[in-house]
A and B are shown apart, each in its own frame.
Chain A
């Protein structure tokens, strides 16, 4: 995992020659750190690989782009890959590699709330503490516990849940069937949505699907029996497409006699294809926004670059967090770049303070963390499946 110094020197020379906007010149060795490493952590294999694999690709691309633009004052950033397999035990072991190595300055990830909550103690109590920027951990406790190392670019459950519920109520929902997919991400979110509906006296029925479930006939029968006019499905995996197809087959056509609201991962336009059109008219919310759906040159350019790097159908396999992972990596890398270099070393404490104070330029615009580590001023985008793409129709605040 360590890059020999010789490669760093060669890279430096190359960057100096190419002169593509790097802020260093060959002789300013005082501002050049000796070695900079960050880690990408997430479930890259195992039961959650469908969200991890694409995120890893995004982070690798982010590091590559950052290095091409000059790295940290000429020093190329090395990316360590930590596959935590959705296990806090593996995560703690891998993080130890970074904790004792002072050149590891931050982690992009972990992706699962459960893993974050299970390993943040070790990161915070390390000397010095090792900061992380998560692209997908949504449990409120991640940033509520007062840990200075904790940051995330995605929405908190207690911001997104009420926003989702409020959207449905504003659209005239009378009876909502609330479902989640029994995962770190979706269960907490659906609980928050349910709580908001309950506090506003909207009748609801709560149910859970299983990861990988394909047959929803039993559930759909219950939806019809309940007489729901809205279906809320918190899910970051691929269950949405078969679900809505079967809804249509059973006579529940979205936009006609039922409405559908999905969450992160369900604003992906490939669901329209994989549901063979049954998804048309469905809504989905996301704070970080699917880059393919946000019109704005940075996000669209990112999608093009992603496809150029990994193949034309890579985006449809990349899962729901390939945008936020790139964004998280950008924030971390910029914080590192902004930190002072002393004797060729950057200290983690400086990275943490820059993460707290700086504003970062990402593919989704400007990002700044609040005192807890959440993104300030973010709204939630509401998408609607229209034709063959997902179109942003509204932005609601949490």
Chain B
């Protein structure tokens, strides 16, 4: 018990940081599911591409020492380019691979998404690098470490948490307080009715994909700065866990995704820290299955009409 109490705060902090990353990616899943009712398996790989974009930009600045650009500016540029690049990638994928199948059987876009995911992973593996790529975070972000009692956490970890939460709040405001946000919510609620109301559904979907992918791109930047290493396979497991988080919070529900992500991060950290790190992932998936069986709509979702 002593062991638990002594280490709980640290593991909690670890979990919140990891969880904020899950939440950021989970938001993307939930936005796309809400609007198209499809699981975008390729979302985790869009995050991976965003991370590689960030790594590329960082490499250019740090290794070429471009005219002594202040680190802050370099980081800002990384974020802008990664978010923009990932966003455009998401829009492109939607246009090429998902739009033709928008009215098809649910199976079709799901399978295509698996194909897109595989394509992105292989493309990066073959054309960029099969081995992990360094993100020179030491040169870009001060390596200060915060100490709060026993709890130790680096600046990049706090950054991850703060920026992620800030983005989530911003997204929340966008979706619930702006007109375009109402258009998004209307499209999510009933796509055909939204068309009748004069909403340009194609455009709404495009913007949704852009936003979701840009968030994932930012996640990639924050990850790269925190862990200093990106590889072509990083999106796979993270994508599954982020999706788990979205489902636990209630798929299609933005606030649910945020809470679900943080909750999942903490759960994972506590299980790994106090029960077993080998079975950590298994516990996470078990949690997913349990939630789906007991309360399929997740924590914040609306009760679903039973379609089985």
Q: Tell me if chains A and B make direct contact, with any CB pair below 8 A.
A: yes
Residues of A bordering B, CB below 8 Å:
49-50, 53, 182, 207-210, 212, 214-215, 217-219, 221-222, 225, 238, 241-242, 245-246, 249-251, 273-277, 316-317, 319
With a cutoff of 8 Å between Cβ atoms, the chain A residues found around residue B157 in the complex are: 217, 249
B92 on the A face (CB < 8 A): no
Q: Report whether A319 and B229 are in contact in the complex, using a CB–CB cutoff of 8 Å.
A: no
Alpha-carbon distance A53/B126, docked complex (angstroms): 11
**When the two chains form their complex, are residues A208 and B154 in contact, meaning their CB atoms are under 8 A apart?**
no
Q: What is the CB-to-nearest-CB distance from B219 to chain A, in angstroms, rounded to a whole number? A: 13
Q: Is the CB of B229 within 8 A of A238?
A: yes
Chain B neighbourhood of A316, CB < 8 A: 131
The docked-state distance in angstroms from the alpha carbon of A245 to that of B135 is 12
The list of the 4 closest CB pairs from A to B, nearest first, reads A217-B14, A249-B154, A218-B272, A276-B138
B130 to A218, Cβ gap below 8 A?
Answer: no
Shortest Cβ distance from B281 into A: residue: A210
Q: Are A217 and B131 in contact (CB under 8 A)?
A: no
Known: A219-B277, A251-B145. A242 touches B228 (CB 8 A): yes
Interchain residue pairs with CB less than 8 A apart (16): A212-B233, A214-B223, A217-B17, A217-B18, A218-B11, A221-B11, A225-B3, A242-B228, A245-B227, A246-B227, A249-B157, A274-B132, A274-B228, A275-B228, A276-B138, A276-B228
Known A-B contacts A250-B152, A251-B145, A274-B132; A245 and B273 likewise in contact (beta carbons under 8 Å): no
Quick one: which of A49, A215, A217, A250 has the most chain B CB within 10 A?
Answer: A217
Residue of A nearest to B10 (CB): A221
How many whole Å from B77's CB to the nearest CB in chain A?
20
Apart from the given pairs A219-B277, A222-B7, A238-B229, 10 other A-B contacts in the complex at a CB distance below 8 Å: A49-B130, A50-B130, A209-B277, A212-B237, A214-B223, A215-B227, A221-B10, A242-B229, A249-B154, A274-B132
**Distance of A225 Cα from B223 Cα, bound (Å):** 26
The answer for the CA separation of A246 and B18 in the assembled complex, in Å, is: 14
CB pair B269 A218 closer than 8 Å: yes
**What CA separation (Å) do A277 and B134 show in the bound complex?**
12
Q: Is B234 part of the binding interface, using a Cβ–Cβ cutoff of 8 Å?
A: yes
Looking at the complex, which one of A209, A218, A251 makes contact with B14 (CB distance below 8 Å)?
A218
- Which residues on the A side are within 8 Å of B129 (C-beta)? 317
Complex CA–CA separation, A219 to B273 (angstroms):
7
The answer for the CA separation of A50 and B231 in the assembled complex, in Å, is 11
A214 touches B229 (CB 8 A): yes
Chain B contact residues: helix, strand, loop or mixed: helix
Q: Which residues from chain A contact B281 at a C-beta distance below 8 Å?
A: 210
User: Chain A nearest CB: distance from B197 CB in Å?
Assistant: 45
The answer for the CA separation of A245 and B14 in the assembled complex, in Å, is 15
Given A225-B7, A319-B131, does the pair A218, B273 have CB atoms closer than 8 Å? Answer: yes
8 Å CB contact of B227 from A225, A242, A273: A242
The reply to whether the CB of B143 lies closer than 8 angstroms to some CB of chain A is yes
Contact across chains for A208 and B277 when beta carbons are under 8 A apart = yes
Tell which of B130, B145, B223, B280 touches A53, judged by Cβ atoms closer than 8 Å.
Answer: B130
Q: With an 8 A cutoff between CB atoms, is B278 at the interface?
A: yes
Q: Does B181 contact A (CB under 8 A)?
A: no
Bound Cα distance from A111 to B280, whole angstroms: 29
Report the minimum CB–CB distance from A43 to chain B (whole Å). Answer: 12
Shortest beta-carbon distance from B49 to chain A in Å: 17
Mark interface residues in B1-28 (1 if CB within 8 Å of A CB, else 0): 0010011001100100110000000000
Residue B56 is within 8 A (CB to CB) of chain A in the complex: no
User: In the complex, A250→B223 CA distance in Å?
Assistant: 17
Interface centre among B131, B228, B233, B273 (most CB of A within 10 A): B131
In Å, the complex CA distance between A217 and B277 comes to: 12
B contact residues around A182 at 8 Å (CB): 278
Within 8 A of A (CB), among B249-270: 268-269
How many angstroms from the CA of A214 to the CA of B125 in the assembled complex? 18
Q: How far is the CA of A207 from the CA of B276 in the complex (A)?
A: 9
Residues of B within 8 A of A214 (CB): 223, 227, 229, 234
Whether A238 lies near B131 (C-beta < 8 A) is yes
When C-beta atoms are compared, the residue in chain A nearest to B236 turns out to be A212
Which residues of the other chain, B, contact A50 by a CB distance below 8 angstroms? 130-131
Does B231 contact A238, Cβ atoms closer than 8 Å?
yes
Is there a chain A Cβ closer than 8 Å to B137's Cβ? yes
> Which residues does chain A contribute within 8 Å of B6, judged by CB atoms?
225
Distance (whole angstroms) from the CB of A395 to the closest CB of chain B = 29
Give the residues in chain A near B272, CB-CB below 8 Å: 218-219
A241 touches B154 (CB 8 A): no
Say yes or no for B301: interface residue by CB 8 A criterion: no
Q: When the two chains form their complex, are residues A274 and B18 in contact, meaning their CB atoms are under 8 A apart?
A: no
